[in-house]
Amino acid sequence: MIPALSSRDALGSIIRSLRLPASFTESVGDELIAQSLRRAVYIEAPCPPYALARATREALAGLGTPEEMLENRIEDVMESLIAYGDILEMRAAGEDRWESDDTLELRAAPPAFVLRKNRSVVLLGVAGDEITPLPGDWDARIQYRGALRIVTFEAGEDARALLREMGLFELPEAVWLRLPPRETPAAHIKAWRDRLAAEPPSAPIEGLEILDTRKPPTYYRGRRTEPRSSNDGLFIARRPQRYGAPRWCIVDLERGAVKRFKDLFSPGDRIRPCDLAWRLQAALDAEAGTPQLYRCAPAGSATRITFYSPLPCWAERHLAIVGDKVKPESGLYAFDMPAGAAAAETGFLREMMWMADRADRDAGGTQ
């Protein structure tokens, strides 16, 4: 007779198989979801995002987390793994595929590492079914922080030499970050406006959703709405397609009607459409006089920088080199920075994303 496992026992068994510390056995946390996604992408890839999410959801069902909550968290963690580079997102290839040419596939990234400013290491990629490319006696060195894995080293150890000896390749910081060029919001908007002007007039688009620049940048979900007769000018939008997730695009509206649209993409797919959209939205907000905001506040010995709108993956990676991603009491997410590093990071955000400090805006009487 085969004994029935309790959900707690089943969770403990999964934790051990994924080489996570025993301290994660209390619930299905983001760390467990991230490791499950890494294993699933090795088995399923190449696969579309929905297939990876489904496989992970089926593996973790019945472990005490409500289905809808589990589904949302899997999507969030999968987005983080793509942003950091554990999972690669690329267009589907092959003449025999029935899907649209715009179908996105996910693949496991090869094992790699990035040296951080404090000489610890960001561990990236998937090492086959083992998930973690380091030997088992190194498990105690790995710190799991949401979707990130940080490896610590003792004083005098040569992290670069040790990891290269194990077969991992180093991603230089500049290569990992893949920063876009520095430019003003006006110049960034003009470049996309010129590309949009070359598109033919558009027929009406059913199911279109825009990000309304007129709504406060401190509540991202509240900015998503269908076009209204009061909407004129350029807007970031998502248009539905028959297969797959809605496409990110830029639209020119006149009294809520679409005059032209252009899907967002970069040459060679070096930058994800959502990252293009989020930076262009930041430019539109800055030009409208309501820049996107961050908030700095003490968090123990660190400085916590909280964000209210999504950041492109290159901006998240820049922050992750120095700080640690955490869940704030309010806002979408936050990074805890060493106190001495916060000023440089907020300067980077002001220059590259044209953001402003919420405390300064509040002091000036604006939202």
Examine the domain organization and report whether 343 and 280 are in the same domain: no
pLDDT at 123: 95
Does residue 81 fall inside a structural domain? Answer: yes
pLDDT value of position 266: 77
Q: Which of 214, 217, 292 is nearest to 253 (CA)?
A: 214
Same domain? 30 vs 55? yes
Same domain, yes or no: 22 and 100: yes
293: nearest Cα among 354, 234, 348: 354
In this structure, the answer to whether residues 158 and 196 fall within a common structural domain is: no
Q: Show which of 71, 90, 107 is a domain's final residue.
A: 107
179 belongs to a structural domain: no
pLDDT digits (tens, 9 = 90+) for 28-72: 889 999 999 999 999 999 999 999 999 999 999 888 888 899 999
| SS3 state of residue 207 | coil
| Phi and psi torsions of 93, nearest 5° | -130, 155
Task: Please indicate, yes or no, whether residues 118 and 88 belong to a single structural domain of this protein.
Answer: no
Q: What is the pLDDT of residue 339?
A: 83
Considering the domain architecture, whether residues 58 and 146 belong to the same structural domain is answered as no
Q: Within this chain, do residues 206 and 270 fall inside the same structural domain, yes or no?
A: yes
| Domain end (from 55, 82, 107) | 107
CB burial of residue 100 (10 Å; 0-12, 13-18, 19+): middle
C-alpha separations of 248 from 229, 251, 274, 327 in Å: 21, 10, 6, 26
Pick the last residue of a domain from 49, 77, 107.
Answer: 107
Domain for residue 226, yes or no?
yes
Distance between CA 276 and CA 58 in Å, rounded? Answer: 32
As beta bridge partners, residue 296 has 305
1 is a domain residue: no
* Cα 42–chain centre separation: 20
Shared-domain flag, residues 32 and 60: yes
| Residue 103 shares a structural domain with residue 139 | no
283's enclosing H/E stretch is helix 273-287
Whether residue 264 is contained in a domain is answered as: yes
Whether residue 87 contacts residue 77, with contact meaning beta carbons closer than 8 Å, is answered with no
> Would 39 be classed as within a structural domain?
yes
Whether residue 127 is found in the same domain as residue 199: no
**93 within some domain:** yes
The residue length of the chain stands at 367
What pLDDT does residue 361 have? 76
In sequence order, the 6+-apart residues with CB closer than 8 A to the CB of 254 are 232
Segments forming the whole domain that contains residue 15: 7-107
> Burial of 181 by CB count in 10 Å (0-12 exposed, 13-18 middle, 19+ buried)?
exposed
Is the overall model pTM greater than 0.85, yes or no?
no
Q: Report the pLDDT value the prediction gives residue 128, as an integer from 0 to 100.
A: 82
Judge if 101 and 133 occupy the same domain: no
Residue 99 lies in a domain: yes
Rounded to an integer, what distance in angstroms lies between the CA atom of residue 73 and that of residue 78?
8
**In the prediction, which pLDDT does 95 show?**
45
Q: How many domains does the chain have?
A: 4
Same-domain status, 207 and 277: yes
What distances in angstroms separate CA 359 from CA 231, 305, 306, 323, 355, one per listed residue? 29, 12, 12, 21, 12
pLDDT along the chain (367 residues), means of 10: 74 88 80 94 93 94 88 92 90 50 79 87 89 89 90 90 93 88 97 96 95 94 95 96 87 96 81 93 97 95 96 92 87 91 95 95 61
pLDDT at site 367: 46
